């Protein structure tokens, strides 16, 4: 005899069936999305930036800089990754540490672009790191505010931010002006500093998380920034501004552009080409650089901060033995007019070596930046000016200066 069906069993089967039936579309979407997300995350592990160079950040006031109190891994070009540290001010340092805003020590701040940052070598082997090893740390403190792709606009804004917004006490400022700064002044001409606080909240954390773990997000963001700079460059007359100006774009590190030998060479060629020197973009870049350096000198003078300007050659100038370079004359005249110190490293770095041998000995493989040995040459050239400045400031020389 067949038993009567249990109404509770019918209700259970109906409940189990309707759970999937009600969400069939959602389940189908998940079945499609999950493999895509897994593939995206997998691609980011292989092709994405990962955590390398994950200490750089955009900034509303000075365009871009470094995150504070970071222990990270930095890599550039063909070199091996190196540990890197930033202090509480977001400046490169020997270790992540708290920097007091006021100090009884004689405090010297360096600022410049990637060459002064020491891209591609550990901090202790950069010329700023080497100089910091030649002073007594109980008497003198060396700080490095240099960041890749800086130029006078950002030298001024970053220094002003440190002095006025963070109330950092300084005694001396050394500004190392790169030959590429004239082009970079054009690129930053549309940048407007904002007083709002840097975004370190939820949106920034989500952005950084997606950049690390989503290849699609990272690629789209990179393309978006590239197109943004391209549109900006297209506003300039192509007959006045050289086509190579469009090669350069930046918010993040653009290793492809910097590793292009033709790009690297022509980026510094304005000092040797009469056509480029006379071009409107060069003159506009020079005027902008001078204007912002004038603002920087005035700011420091109001605060009693002694300013020194330094210049150095690129490989183009070394190959051409361009010792009396337009870059030297431009900033030497500026220093004399504004009564500030001046360091000319062209004679120190332009020697008799064939250019191929010079690059093999002093330049990072596959790149244009300095290796550790060349950083030592730069430190040797800068050191006498540092020592003289300390003596002029009446620091006790036996303790303030370490024997080399």
Domain ranges of the chain: 8-47, 56-400
Q: How many CA atoms are closer than 13 Å to the CA of 143, on its beta-carbon side? A: 27
Mean pLDDT of 249-277: 56
Closest by alpha carbon to 369, among 50, 52, 125?
125
Q: Tell me the average pLDDT across 1-30.
A: 61
Closest C-alpha among 241, 165, 161, 216 to residue 47: 216
* pLDDT mean over 266-284: 79
pLDDT at 28: 73
241 pLDDT band (50/70/90 cuts)? very low
SS3 category, 222: helix
Confidence of residue 243 (pLDDT cuts 50, 70, 90): very low
Pick among 3.30.70.1430, 3.40.50.1110, 3.20.20.150, 3.40.640.10: CATH of 56-400: 3.40.50.1110
The pLDDT score that the predictor gives to residue 36 is 74
Number of H helices, E strands in the chain: 18, 10
* Cβ within 8 Å of residue 327, ≥6 positions away: 177, 179, 271, 311, 313, 317
Which DSSP state fits 270? G
Mean pLDDT, to the nearest integer, of 158-174? 97
Q: Which of 54, 76, 395 lies closest to 256, judged by CA? A: 76
HSE on the CB side for 116, CA within 13 Å?
Answer: 28
Which among 67-81, 195-209, 275-289, 305-319 has the top mean pLDDT? 305-319
**pLDDT at res. 220:** 74
Q: 55-114: per-residue pLDDT in tens?
A: 888 899 999 999 999 888 877 766 677 888 999 999 999 999 999 999 999 999 999 999
pLDDT confidence tier of residue 268, bands split at 50, 70 and 90: confident
Q: Which pLDDT does position 259 carry in this prediction?
A: 38
**What average pLDDT does the segment 320-331 reach?**
94
179 pLDDT band, cuts 50/70/90, is very high
Higher pLDDT: 68 or 268? It is: 68
pLDDT at 370 over 50: yes
Q: Could you give the 3-state DSSP secondary structure of residue 125?
A: helix
**Percent of the chain scored above 90 by pLDDT?**
47
pTM tops 0.95, yes or no: no
Q: Rounded to whole angstroms, how far apart are CA atoms 233 and 247? A: 10
pLDDT value of position 117? 96
- Grouping H, G, I as helix, E, B as strand and the rest as coil, residue 379 is helix
């Amino acid at each position: 005899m067949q038993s009567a069906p249990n109404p509770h069993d019918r209700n259970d089967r109906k409940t189990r069936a309707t759970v999937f039936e009600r969400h069939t579309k959602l389940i189908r979407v998940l079945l499609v999305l999950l493999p895509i997300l897994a593939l995206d995350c997998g691609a980011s592990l292989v092709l994405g930036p990962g955590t390398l160079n994950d200490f750089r950040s955009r900034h509303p006031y000075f365009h871009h800089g470094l995150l504070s109190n970071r222990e990270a891994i930095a890599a550039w070009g063909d070199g091996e990754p190196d540990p890197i540290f930033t202090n509480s001010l977001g400046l490169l340092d020997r270790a992540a540490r708290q920097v007091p805003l006021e100090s009884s020590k004689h405090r010297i701040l360096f600022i410049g672009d990637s060459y002064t940052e020491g891209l591609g070598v550990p901090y202790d082997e950069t010329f700023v790191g080497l100089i910091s090893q030649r002073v007594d740390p109980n008497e003198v403190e060396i700080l490095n505010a240099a960041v890749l792709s800086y130029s006078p606009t950002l030298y001024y804004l970053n220094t002003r931010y440190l002095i006025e917004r963070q109330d950092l006490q300084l005694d001396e400022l050394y500004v190392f002006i790169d030959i590429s700064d004239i082009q970079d002044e054009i690129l930053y001409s549309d940048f407007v500093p904002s007083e709002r606080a840097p975004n370190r909240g939820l949106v920034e954390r989500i952005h950084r998380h997606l950049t690390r773990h989503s290849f699609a997000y990272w690629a789209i963001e990179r393309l978006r920034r590239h197109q943004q700079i391209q549109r900006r460059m297209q506003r300039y007359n192509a007959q006045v501004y050289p086509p190579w100006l469009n090669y350069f774009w930046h918010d993040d590190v653009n290793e492809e552009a910097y590793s292009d030998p033709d790009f690297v060479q022509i980026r510094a060629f304005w000092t040797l080409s009469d056509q480029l020197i006379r071009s409107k973009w060069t003159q506009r870049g020079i005027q902008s650089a001078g204007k912002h350096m004038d603002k920087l000198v005035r700011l420091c003078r109001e605060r009693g901060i002694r300013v020194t300007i330094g210049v150095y050659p690129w490989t183009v100038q070394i190959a051409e033995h361009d010792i009396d370079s337009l870059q030297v004359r431009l900033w030497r005249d500026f220093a004399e007019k504004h009564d500030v110190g001046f360091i000319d490293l062209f004679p120190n770095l332009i020697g008799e070596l064939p250019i191929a041998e010079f690059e093999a000995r002093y330049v990072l493989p596959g790149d244009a930046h300095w290796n550790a040995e060349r950083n030592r040459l730069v430190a040797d050239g800068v050191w006498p000016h540092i020592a003289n400045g300390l003596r002029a400031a009446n620091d006790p020389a036996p303790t303030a200066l370490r024997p080399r």
